[in-house]
Chains A and B, each alone.
Chain A
């Protein structure tokens, strides 16, 4: 029987609403299947060109994949700056301008790594420079065919990054898998994680390059607590060592709501932050995530009535 187009549309809306409502009630997730992730703690690669940078990414991933292959590889922030060894961090704008092809090399290497590994790859982050000569931090995601499937600019300023984006959205990296990218300081601004989580990102990825000293307390109030207050998974990669004059002290971790981990500490590979050289691997289990949300539907206790009164207006106030 042919329905009137209006009725068809109405029926479709009802079907979608019902699906969403059911998902909400059972503590559903947009993550539709288990997904294995690998994250790295690495020093900068001394790679002279895009090809060797891509090979270095693959080599690091393959040494991990031999032990446990992953669906996604997350590399540390600023790793690609090893492509420009002349980098002078006392003037990041000038150094980024000095190599306008940095982004192209970063993208080429990321695509190559994803294609070669047959996995989703986030090749860290890279600095870009706007036409107004202001620095941005940028990350890209490649699917397992090597296609660029998502990009994200840092959305909160820091000492270096002065040009930020006012857009942030989840990225579909595989059938039934949406990730959110937290670039640079965004991992310390809960607004970014909340926006991503409420738009359906069940995995937050943070390719970081925090400068030394980087204490465990500093790390904990970053991605760890975003994972807890949004009931999502989190993957942190960290750059360590020297780049130019600057010392980095990143960590790596694969995080989950406390209730999902054996000792309730929120770290999937135990016992906590990885501070060696190499990778951590873990499988993010959708059933476990759904159970946590079903048992304690935390976000159902958000208070939209309250937020409507104050947010976002209150941000225009100077406290």
Chain B
């Protein structure tokens, strides 16, 4: 590591000190209206948030605080942020702000060097952004006594792979993580790696799965989570689809919820971000039979742009009843006969 890198790392360490965040958040306080939760019902909030660069840890902490406070004030026990929440923290890198105002992230990276990938930027920033991200959301979860699905953060692992990782912070201090298993083409170009495990986490609110965005394009994700026992799936999203198209949006979480009989809470990142225009609705979804209009939507933001918080009560007891009354009629013998062959055959250069 040369002197320039050492200086940069030192600056990033200074900018990401937990003490700065803790001081900031404790000054703002954690008093909120306490709501007695109904047994078997989880009040959820999905956050629709506009992307912006945060140049300091305090700025990021304030932004997260404002959303969580608004959510718990309305009784939320589970707050779901969008995908790539931690990308706002790219701004803590000295000098990157002005660069990203005029260039896309790819162009900005090219300015640094020909053989540099976007993943390298995350490797460089990972330690600092992770520290800010974890400190902020862990402090808010403990302080407000709320479960926070903090969207996702692109982070380097010790083995040098860079993954997009969903996070859930619990009031008792646990941090639960789930890597994105299906990457967008853009993420592959950036040099990110896909996760190869799915997990369902036992929490005080129920059994929760944490896939990320594109994971919902593939039914396999939700089916595995359902079979592992998931009742609530939190799915952070950042969709570079502009202009917004409701039909294309319908190819994600909504059918997955219907197929697998789960609740889903989807935070959405919107606005101009790193040379892309992100659109999408924050929303909370349920099986058709558990929604008043029979449309599978418990709450959806009014517009696919701009900021919003949407709330809904997830009646986990009703979901369990539905599953008993209308059980999935899966056919394991069929899947055992074909799956090993079709998936591996396809990968070796099959039909499409």
Contacts and interface: CB of A to CB of B under 8 A. Distances in A.
Nearest to B222: A190
A200 B337 CA distance: 17
Interface stretch (B64-72, B154-162, B248-256): B248-256
B245 A258 contact: yes
A297 B245 contact: no
A156 B332 CA distance: 10
A194 interface: yes
Contacts of A305: 196
A302 interface: yes
B222 to A, nearest CB: 9
Contacts of A317: 227-228
Contact of A185 (B223, B329, B346): B329
Per DSSP, chain B at the interface is helix
A310 B294 CA distance: 32
Nearest to B295: A217
B182 A231 contact: no
Given A304-B347, A306-B198, A309-B197, A168 B251 contact: no
Contacts of B333: 166
A90 interface: no
B247 A24 contact: no
B331 interface: yes
Interface string A272-307: 000000000000000000000100111111111111
A319 interface: yes
Contact of B251 (A217, A225, A304, A310): A225
Interface stretch (A27-35, A79-87, A99-107): A27-35
State the majority secondary structure of interface residues on A. helix
B264 to A, nearest CB: 13
A264 B247 contact: yes
A2 to B, nearest CB: 29
B203 interface: no
Chain B interface extent, by class = 35 or more
Contacts of A242: none
B40 to A, nearest CB: 18
A45 interface: no
Contacts, number: 188
B255 A315 contact: no
Contacts of B296: 217, 221
A158 interface: yes
A259 to B, nearest CB: 8
A310 B219 contact: no
B343 A308 contact: yes
A166 B329 CA distance: 13
A267 B344 CA distance: 31
A315 B352 contact: no
Contact of B331 (A156, A198, A221): A156
Given A167-B337, A305-B196, A229 B217 contact: yes
Contact of A258 (B214, B220, B251, B345): B251
Contacts of A15: none
Nearest to A195: B338
B229 A319 contact: yes
A72 B331 CA distance: 30
A28 B349 CA distance: 11
A314 B224 contact: yes
A133 interface: no
Given A24-B349, A315-B332, A310 B295 contact: no
A55 interface: no
Contacts of B339: 191, 195, 307, 311-312
Contacts of A263: 247
Given A191-B335, A264-B247, A302 B183 contact: no
Given A258-B248, A265-B247, A302 B343 contact: yes
B250 A229 contact: no
B180 to A, nearest CB: 10
A27 B335 CA distance: 26
A301 B224 CA distance: 17
A1 to B, nearest CB: 29
B218 interface: yes
Q: Name the residue among A28, A220, A228, A306 with the largest chain B CB count within 10 angstroms.
A: A306
20 contacts: A24-B352, A27-B352, A29-B351, A155-B334, A165-B334, A166-B333, A167-B337, A168-B334, A190-B223, A199-B342, A217-B288, A217-B294, A217-B296, A263-B247, A264-B245, A301-B182, A301-B218, A302-B220, A306-B224, A319-B228
Interface of A: 17, 20-21, 23-24, 27-30, 155-158, 164-168, 185, 188-192, 194-195, 197-200, 215, 217-218, 220-221, 225, 228-229, 231, 258, 263-266, 293, 296-312, 314-317, 319
Given A304-B344, A307-B339, 18 more contacts: A157-B331, A166-B331, A167-B337, A185-B329, A189-B331, A191-B219, A194-B219, A199-B342, A229-B255, A264-B248, A302-B346, A303-B196, A303-B218, A308-B340, A310-B198, A314-B224, A314-B227, A317-B227
